[in-house]
Amino acid sequence: MSAMILRLACAWATVAAFLLFGTSLLGQLGAPLISAAIFVWLLGVIIWAAFGVVHEAEILAERLGEPYGTLILTLSIVIIEVALISAVMLGAKGAPTLGRDTMFAVLMIVLNGVVGIGLIVGGRQHFAQSYNLKGASSYLAVIIPLTVIPLVLPNFTTSTGAGTLTTLQSVSFSVFTIALYGAFLVLQTGRHRSFFQEPTREQAPLPRTPARTEKAVDLGPLEGEGHAGGAIWTHVALLLANILPIVILSKSLATVLDFGIIQLGAPVALGGILIAMVVFTPECIAALRAISANQLQRAINLCLGAAASTLGLTVPAVLAIGLFTGQEVVLGLSGVNMVILAMTLLLSTLTFTGTRTTMLEGAVHLSVFFVFVVLVFSP
């Protein structure tokens, strides 16, 4: 309880400071030490508040069960992501590829980085882990069109060039994206809810061999461990109390990020990667905790759910900002990134077509993630 109060106090105190003195603070970004201090301050508060979001969402997950728990967490995280992207686009007025870069970075971090590390950790501790095949297949069936249509198709349309869309295409694709993701949510929380719950006992993973006695890695408190009591609405209120400071501070962080990237001459895509890392780090840690506790289905709900919700909500938001502000929005990926994306979707389909996972699949996903990182700095 004391940690929660301290976290909220720091977050809201920072909000008050930037609302009152933000103009003068951000006006001193030219000084390297001051710029670094402001960046570390904002980044630390936002990440700390994001961990608070994860904490409250895990309590709600325990109370409400799957898939509601992970759905609340992924939607909360994506709201933060959309707020950060919107702040950068509205502030910089010159970030046409930010939405694309952030979405692509989320896909690479979640589908390759987190999945790769998770399957290696889970394989070492539990040999082979089981999950609900129907749930994973449902996620991939939604992720593939939500990925290909906004990130690949604009490169092959002829009405515009350079990976952009016409107004009609932007509106149509936004409506389609929202409709498809909305239909998925209705089925996920209704008729097909059982697809996203832990598999039955008959589908449990194979027993480990006696020779394998690795000690489980302690990744911190798991779902349901050490959580305080209280009514559901109390935790919903605390969830919102942790989200709001992040949304409010996102504009200030966006200003600092934009200034830093320009001053350092860093790759443009680095801005999207930093946003993805800031927003999704707590959720990724939650997924790794679940895998360490042999709750692979919850980890899959977090990882694949993050990918689906990112595409389902970020694409319409980015296109809407472009239409209302008149900014150019570039969604089409480069040729190299399209190849990495195709490889990622193919590998994800192969990984989640059986009922159990292995360390080899994790190593393959992780190698693709390292290729993505190298190409960011050496395209």
**What are the tens digits of pLDDT across the range 267-300?**
777 877 887 887 777 778 888 888 888 888 888 8
Both structure tokens of 277: 């890392």
In this prediction, residues 125-138 reach a mean pLDDT of 78
Per-residue confidence (pLDDT) for residue 212, from 0 to 100: 43
209 pLDDT higher than 60? no
- pLDDT value of residue 347: 92
| Rounded-to-integer distance, Cα 130 and Cα 358, Å | 10
- pLDDT tens column, 76-122: 777 877 877 777 777 655 678 888 888 899 899 989 999 999 889 88
CA distances from 206 to 128, 186, 197, 279 (A): 6, 33, 19, 35
**Does 219 score more than 50 pLDDT?**
no
Q: What is the mean pLDDT of the chain?
A: 81
Check pLDDT > 70 for residue 229: no
pLDDT digits (tens, 9 = 90+) for 54-67: 788 778 877 777 67
Mean pLDDT of all residues in 181-207? 71
CATH number of 2-377: 1.20.1420.30
The percentage of residues in the chain with a pLDDT greater than 70, rounded to a whole number, is 90
pTM: 0.79
Each domain of the chain, given as residue ranges in start order, spans 2-377
**b/e code 62-89 from CB counts within 10 Å (16+ = b):** ebeebbbbbbbbbbbbbbbbbbbbbbbb
